[in-house]
């Protein structure tokens, strides 16, 4: 096999060494346009996991790297003159130039041909002359762009400028330092990579960078200015550059990683923000996987398909974490007024990969200090601290999220609802929410939806709230009121979600006459008199909800249902007073909110659920989501339940663990209103992390409560908590400890005496 590698960075060189080591008969040529000692950046950070892979694949390279590594455990966060240190993190770094020298030496010893100061020939010529061509030519890959039709690249720019510098001394920890200047907030990321050197990255929002005058400075002026701004962190020492230039980070994603005998590797295939130190790590792991797949698969097409299949999910997960970290730093200004330790905890958990639980394992003293500052009593996890909304005190921060059950008859909740909601109330959550309860027969999603348009329905709900209050004292129960709008008259979810009923349809109404799907019924645009009628239906349902004994009421203005349909520019095309600008699109949902708040008991809280993004071009923007939340808060909303999407059928959500929580986080800090976070929050560790970091006040979970009605009580048991915020019902107390299982952890029986 003849192999050409375009790009002599760590990923390309390591791939060359591995491929040659595994099969010395391979002819491998690396084309690198720069000189051998040219490099950009300074230090490289690698994880223990990646180092383990390197050790297994090529002990010679691993041993050479081991001799060069600088290792440290601490992270320092310096903000407003206060430094907080968290230990137990475990980093290893070395100079990028030294890493390249090690890889050059290894490639030469194996017989790889290294062509420096040589631009790679035309890719079409390479693919014809070589059996395999590996494009490891970086974030600005000309190979990727030349074959964009095949790879399908998506490149996203971001809001911050950064510059890669170095200092001639070693930091004693990974250091984050925040500088609040007259131009705005700036941050320093620094870490040691040699006994006498550290990498220093200075980063700030584009508008701050321009205001500070960096756009007009040359390289040396920028370096000197950065050293002056962060003089305390540097001890007054200078910074140095290496062809350093201000740039913006670009996230690269490719739909496909190979085309014929051409394959992408490293930054050419994907990028992940430097704040989680993953660029070189991912490239090296790519090289390992590519080499392994070429060994394991009988043909090149199978090997390249296996490589992509193996690496894509890993990279996607890393990119989600990197995106969360990147956006945290972009929005750093939101968190500046947090208490110092909470700010540090927030920074450490920004990517959602470091959580409350593993931070406790790494540094229990630091985490306990954050908990004390937050107000956690000794031995109380953050999720089991109380929270007050108006006249209602929730005993913990867990909410059973509204989940449509489609099991009512003529809108009347029956035994199923009693058992479903009752079981989850007995399961320990602070607040249990009903499904969306419809305000009229025409406002149902399906024939199985529950309602509150009759006194009989209210009595059926009273039976359920009475059970919760008697049998699960301390658990609150809330009702979510809504109207389906254009998403109504459909089959039960398990018969065909969002599919129109084959018969027995009822007419639909909406902000504008736009069907949800091409095969959906076209709704009628609501007239002024119909708007009044529906507003009164909401108010009447709220009166019935109060009489039924609900502790909290939530107005459903999300997920493309009627009120949500007014808020989104994708679904509201009206030209009257209820359409057009955001203020006009808000007008009707606020009228309904005001009507409900006027009849809902003043001591009982009222929340509103919104879709903070439509996950579709031209939909609700981040800024509009903040404005929507601010408007509802100004009208008396006690909290905003921040969800996303389900507004248009063509949405493209960015799914992932806790993927909706950044929207709640932003609203909480910009609007200063309590928020309920939702969206793939799957573990009690996630809940503790979000609450303690100050990104949410309450966390709503749906599917985990379907899997385990006693999710909250089990979370308490698993954390060794037995306080008032998670009380087991008397008949269930015997089950408050995990049942014993067969022993699997040894000691093993002695089967021989040995020699």
Contacting residues for 189 by C-beta, under 8 A, at least 6 apart: 175, 176, 199, 200, 201, 203, 274, 275
Q: What is the CA radius of gyration of the chain?
A: 29
Q: At what angle do helices 582-599 and 528-547 cross, to 10 degrees?
A: 40
Q: What is d(CA 333, CA 502) in angstroms, rounded to the nearest whole number?
A: 53
Other CB atoms closer than 10 Å to residue 568's CB: what's the count?
23
∠474-375-738 over CA atoms, to 5°?
55
Active site residue 406: no
Token pair in block for residue 701 = 């979970």
Q: What is d(CA 667, CA 654) in angstroms, rounded to the nearest whole number?
A: 19
Q: What is d(CA 219, CA 200) in angstroms, rounded to the nearest whole number?
A: 15
List the catalytic residue out of 162, 193, 307, 561: 561
Answer yes or no: are the C-beta atoms of 395 and 702 closer than 8 Å. no
Secondary structure (3-state) at 534: helix
Q: What is the DSSP letter of 609?
A: E
Helix intervals (H) in 548-581: 562-567
Secondary structure (3-state) at 372: helix
Token pair in block for residue 406 = 């489609």
Secondary structure (3-state) at 506: coil
Q: What is d(CA 42, CA 98) in angstroms, rounded to the nearest whole number?
A: 10
Whether the upstream peptide bond of residue 747 has omega within 30° of 0, thus cis, is yes
Q: At what angle do helices 10-22 and 96-110 cross, to 10 degrees?
A: 20
**β pairing state of 247-254 and 153-167:** antiparallel
Q: What is d(CA 590, CA 605) in angstroms, rounded to the nearest whole number?
A: 16
Answer yes or no: are the C-beta atoms of 450 and 437 closer than 8 Å. yes
Other CB atoms closer than 10 Å to residue 191's CB: what's the count?
23
Catalytic residues: 561
């Amino acid at each position: 096999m003849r192999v050409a590698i375009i790009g002599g960075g760590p990923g390309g060189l390591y791939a060359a060494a591995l491929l040659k080591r595994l099969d010395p008969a391979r002819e491998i040529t690396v084309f690198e346009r720069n000189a051998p000692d040219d490099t950009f950046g300074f230090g490289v950070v690698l994880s223990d996991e990646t180092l383990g892979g390197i050790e297994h694949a090529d002990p010679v390279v691993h041993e050479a790297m081991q001799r060069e590594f600088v290792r440290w455990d601490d992270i320092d966060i310096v903000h407003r003159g206060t430094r907080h240190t968290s230990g137990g993190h475990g980093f290893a770094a070395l100079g990028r130039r030294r890493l390249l020298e090690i890889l050059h030496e290894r490639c030469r010893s194996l017989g790889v041909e290294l062509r420096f100061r040589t631009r790679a020939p035309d890719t079409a010529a390479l693919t014809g002359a070589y059996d395999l061509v590996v494009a490891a030519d970086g974030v600005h890959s000309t190979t990727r762009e030349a074959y964009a039709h095949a790879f399908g690249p998506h490149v996203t720019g971001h809001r911050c400028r950064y510059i890669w510098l170095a200092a001639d001394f070693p930091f004693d920890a990974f250091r984050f330092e925040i500088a609040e200047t007259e131009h705005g907030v700036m941050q320093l990321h620094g870490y040691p990579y040699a006994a006498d050197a550290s990498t220093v990255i200075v980063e700030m929002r584009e508008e701050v960078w321009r205001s500070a005058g960096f756009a007009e400075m040359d390289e040396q002026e920028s370096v000197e200015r950065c050293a002056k701004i962060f003089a305390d962190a540097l001890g007054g020492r200078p910074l140095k550059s290496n062809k350093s230039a201000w740039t913006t980070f670009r996230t690269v994603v490719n739909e496909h990683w190979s085309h014929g005998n051409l394959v992408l590797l490293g930054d050419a295939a994907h990028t992940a923000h430097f704040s989680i130190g993953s660029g070189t790590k991912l490239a090296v792991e790519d090289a390992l996987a590519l080499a392994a797949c070429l060994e394991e698969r009988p043909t090149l097409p199978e090997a390249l398909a296996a490589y992509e299949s193996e690496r894509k999910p890993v990279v996607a997960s890393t990119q989600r974490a990197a995106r969360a970290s990147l956006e945290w730093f972009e929005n750093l200004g939101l968190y500046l007024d947090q208490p110092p330790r909470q700010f540090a905890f927030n920074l450490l958990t920004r990517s959602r990969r470091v959580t409350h639980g593993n931070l406790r394992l790494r540094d229990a003293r630091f985490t306990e200090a954050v908990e004390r500052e937050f107000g956690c009593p000794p031995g109380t996890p953050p999720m089991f601290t109380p929270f007050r909304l108006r006249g209602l005190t929730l005993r913990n921060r867990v909410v059973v999220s509204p989940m449509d059950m489609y099991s009512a008859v003529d809108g009347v909740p029956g035994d199923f609802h009693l058992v479903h909601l009752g079981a989850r109330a007995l399961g320990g959550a602070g607040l249990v929410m009903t499904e969306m309860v419809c305000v009229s027969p025409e406002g149902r999603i399906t024939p199985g939806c529950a309602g509150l348009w009759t006194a009989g329905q209210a009595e059926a709900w009273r039976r359920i709230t009475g059970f919760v209050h008697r049998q699960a004292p301390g658990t609150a129960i809330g009702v979510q009121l809504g109207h389906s709008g254009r998403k109504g008259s459909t089959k039960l979810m398990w018969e065909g979600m969002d599919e129109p009923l084959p018969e027995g349809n009822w007419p639909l109404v909406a902000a504008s006459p736009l069907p949800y799907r091409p095969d959906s019924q076209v709704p009628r645009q609501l007239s002024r008199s119909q708007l009044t009628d529906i507003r009164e239906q909401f108010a009447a349902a709220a009166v019935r909800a109060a009489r039924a004994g609900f502790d909290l009421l939530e107005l459903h203005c999300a997920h493309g249902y009627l009120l949500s349909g007014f808020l989104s520019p994708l679904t509201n095309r009206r030209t009257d007073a209820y359409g057009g600008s955001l203020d006009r699109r808000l007008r009707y949902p606020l009228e309904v909110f005001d009507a409900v708040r006027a009849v809902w008991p003043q001591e009982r809280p009222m929340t509103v659920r919104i879709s903070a993004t439509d996950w579709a071009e031209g939909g609700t923007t981040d800024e509009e989501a903040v404005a929507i939340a601010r408007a509802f808060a100004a009208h008396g909303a006690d909290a905003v339940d921040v969800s996303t999407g389900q507004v248009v059928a063509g949405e493209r959500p960015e799914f992932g663990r806790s993927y909706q929580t950044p929207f709640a986080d932003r609203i909480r800090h910009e609007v200063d209103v309590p928020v309920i976070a939702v969206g793939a929050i799957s573990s009690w560790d996630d809940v503790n992390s979000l609450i303690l970091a100050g990104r949410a006040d309450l966390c709503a979970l749906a599917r985990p409560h379907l899997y385990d009605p006693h999710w909250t009580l089990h979370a308490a048991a698993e954390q060794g908590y037995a306080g008032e915020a998670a009380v087991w019902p008397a008949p269930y107390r015997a089950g408050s400890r995990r049942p014993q299982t067969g022993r699997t952890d040894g000691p093993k029986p002695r089967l021989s005496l040995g020699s």
